[in-house]
Amino acid sequence: MSAPQNIVVVGGGLAGGKAVEALRAAGFTGSLTLVGDEAHLPYERPPLSKSYLAGKSAFEDAVVHPREWYDEQHVDLRLHCHATSLDLAAHEVTLGDGARLPYDKLLLATGALPRRLDLPGAAAANVHYLRTREDSDAIRSIFGPGRRIAIVGGGWIGLEVAAATRDAGTEVTLVEMADLPLLGVLGPEVAQVFADLHRDHGVDLRLGATLEEITVDDNGTATGVRLGDGDTVPAVAVVVGVGILPNVALAGAAGLTLNNGVEVDAALRSSDPDVYAVGDIANHDHPVLGTRVRVEHWSTALNQPATAARAMLGEDVQYTNLPYFFSDQYDLGMEYVGYAPRGSYAQVVVRGDLGSREFVAFWLDGENRIKAAMNVNVWDVPDAVKPLIAEGRAVDPARLSDPAVAFADL
């Protein structure tokens, strides 16, 4: 197999920025082009719902590399530019301006799109979703004492926006269909911690609720939300965080195999041997977990590109990192490592105290093997528990719950 001379990366987020970095670091000296929809340089998205939204960090802090770096590394930046089609046979990407980019290897890092509401009033201008810098700016402009916003969705984005909103002195009503926020992710034991946290900070949680419509005035401006029980919650704006969808339109139209994202192997290679996918769109055959996973978190966009870059350059590599994410809400900081979707675990074991919000929770399967762990206001945990998850051996739940037993001794 001849070495590639021309590589194109489609996607201008964190994954795209890390991909061109990894290719140059791995010794690739050929033509390298990065195509991004947004006008901004590639940047990290977590601050958009955390420190940047709260006004505690500058946008520049989230930028992967300054523009000079791309010039120095001879990366052809095509920003504010949309890839409209992909011709696998011709090895070409067509852009919105009609330009055609030839490639030997192609990396797709097209990310995800917010899942949209299909309800009366959902098209109002002051109904907000959070994915870009402009979205975060628009939401922050709503903040202020004496105002109330309604948040639809009690997932990580909804809760982080709620925390930033309350810290700014704005009233919040959060509407969630499940009986607890994060119930499907964490289960009832740990999800209750987050419900209590937000209630303690003054969030009006409407749980087990259905949303009938977003109410609007005669000018078409959203004025609140009407719930299934008939109650109407007034609000100056509505923020929707009901999940995301992998942005696979380009890949699907080209004929790549889709399966809850772009289906890729352990090396992040798609059904076409010259096309790779990373980040939110990559449904990855994980060699450690023994199952396919598509992870919509920062660490995947950060770390997968290095493996894909080496694979594109001919190395025999696999992506083995365990899924990881973090969240900051009020005075609570947490980290989660592993993979324990609903139905995959038999019990949750807690080391520490849920009530004080200082603990480590472990999700165990029926054979007492650790599937995932989450540390809350307790630090230096993920690196210690990753080997326990990767090894897949049974542990004693009683010893696991005992803070006096070191993780290395389990």
Report d(CA 402, CA 105) in Å as an integer: 50
For 202-231, what is each residue's pLDDT tens digit? 999 999 999 999 999 999 999 999 999 999
Closest Cα to residue 316, out of 265, 259, 262? 265
Q: Does 43 share its domain with 96? A: yes
Residue 323 lies in a domain: no
Q: Which amino acid is it at 363? A: W
180-to-92, 116, 129, 229, 267 alpha-carbon distances in Å: 47, 21, 21, 18, 37
Tell me the helix, strand and coil percentages in the chain, rounded to 5: 25, 30, 45
What is the Cα 217 distance to its own chain's centre?
34
- Residues 60-73 have a mean pLDDT of 98
pLDDT in tens, 159-200: 999 999 999 999 999 999 999 999 999 999 999 999 999 999
How many angstroms separate the first and last alpha carbons of the chain?
A: 46
Shared-domain flag, residues 61 and 108: yes
Tokens of 343: 């139905």
Question: Which CATH number covers residue 95?
Answer: 3.50.50.60
Whether residues 176 and 35 share a domain: the answer is no
Chain mean pLDDT for the chain: 97
Mind listing the pLDDT tens digit for each residue in 302-328?
Answer: 999 999 999 999 999 999 999 999 999
Whether 120 is in a domain gets the answer: no
Residue 119 resides in a domain = no
Q: Other CB atoms closer than 10 Å to residue 287's CB: what's the count?
A: 12
CA–CA–CA angle 405, 362, 399 (5° rounding): 25
- Examine residue 207 and state whether it is found in any structural domain, yes or no: yes
Q: What is the CATH number of the domain that holds 390?
A: 3.30.390.30
Beta strand pairing status for 105-108 and 222-227?
A: unpaired
Instruction: Tell whether 94 and 235 lie within a shared domain.
Output: no
Residues with Cβ within 8 Å of 6's Cβ and at least 6 positions away in sequence, in order, are 30, 31, 102, 103, 104, 105
**Residue whose token pair is 């420190």:** 51
Q: What is the arithmetic mean of pLDDT over 358-365?
A: 98
Domain residue limits at 153: 127-240
pLDDT at position 379 is 93
- Residue 321 domain flag: no
Last residue of a domain, one of 257, 283, 312: 312
- Give the separation between CA 258 and CA 260, rounded to whole angstroms: 6
CA atoms within a 13 Å half-sphere pointing along the CA-CB vector of 246: 24
20-60 tens-digit pLDDT: 999 999 999 999 999 999 999 999 999 999 999 999 999 99
- Is there a domain that residue 72 lies in? yes
Q: Which residues pair with 185 in a beta bridge?
A: none
Is it the case that residue 2 has pLDDT exceeding 80?
A: no
The answer to whether position 217 is within a domain reads: yes
State how far the Cα of 129 lies from the Cα of 333, in Å rounded to an integer. 24
Choose the final residue of a domain: 221, 240, 259: 240
| 373 three-class SS | strand
Residues 236 and 140 in one domain: yes
Q: Which residues are bridge partners to 335 per DSSP?
A: 326, 375
In the block, tokens 């033509």 appear at: 31
Q: Whole-angstrom Cα distance, residue 326 to residue 73? A: 31
- Do residue 92 and residue 194 come from a single domain? no
What's the rounded Cα separation, in Å, for the pair 82 and 356? 48
Q: Do 150 and 196 reside in the same domain of the chain?
A: yes
Question: Among 322, 329, 327, which Cα is nearest to 372's?
Answer: 322
Dist CA 248 CA 262 (whole Å)? 7
Do 136 and 236 share a domain, yes or no? Answer: yes
Instruction: Quote the tokens at residue 356.
Output: 């004080």
Domain end, chosen from 255, 284, 312, is at 312
Both 236 and 132 in one domain: the answer is yes
Q: How far is it, in rounded angstroms, from Cα 17 to Cα 9?
A: 9
- Reported as type and span, the H/E element at residue 204 is strand 204-207
Query: What does pTM read for this prediction?
Result: 0.96
The answer to whether residues 26 and 99 belong to one domain is yes
C-alpha 280/C-alpha 277 separation (Å) is 9
Q: Is 269 found in the same domain as 197? A: no
The beta strands (E) that lie in 262-321 are given as 262-264, 275-277, 282-286, 291-293
The number of folded domains in the chain is 3
Instruction: Give 78-132 pLDDT, tens digit per residue.
Output: 999 999 999 999 999 999 999 999 999 999 999 999 999 999 999 999 999 999 9
User: Looking at the structure, do residues 220 and 254 belong to the same domain, yes or no?
Assistant: no
Query: Is 317 domain-assigned?
Result: no
Percentage above 90 pLDDT, the chain: 99
Closest CA to 192 of 172, 178, 171, 202: 178
Under the banding of pLDDT at 50, 70 and 90, the label for residue 359 is very high
Residue 58 buriedness (CB in 10 A; 0-12 / 13-18 / 19+): exposed
Task: State the pLDDT at residue 44.
Answer: 97
- Per-residue model confidence (pLDDT) at position 1: 59
Q: What is the pLDDT of residue 11?
A: 98
Q: What is the DSSP letter of 74?
A: T
CB distance 124 to 220 below 8 Å: yes
For 338, counting Cβ atoms within 10 Å of its Cβ (0-12 exposed, 13-18 middle, 19+ buried), the class is: buried
Give CA–CA dist 15/36, Å, rounded.
11
The angle at the Cα of 323, spanning 199 to 327, to the nearest 5 degrees, equals 25
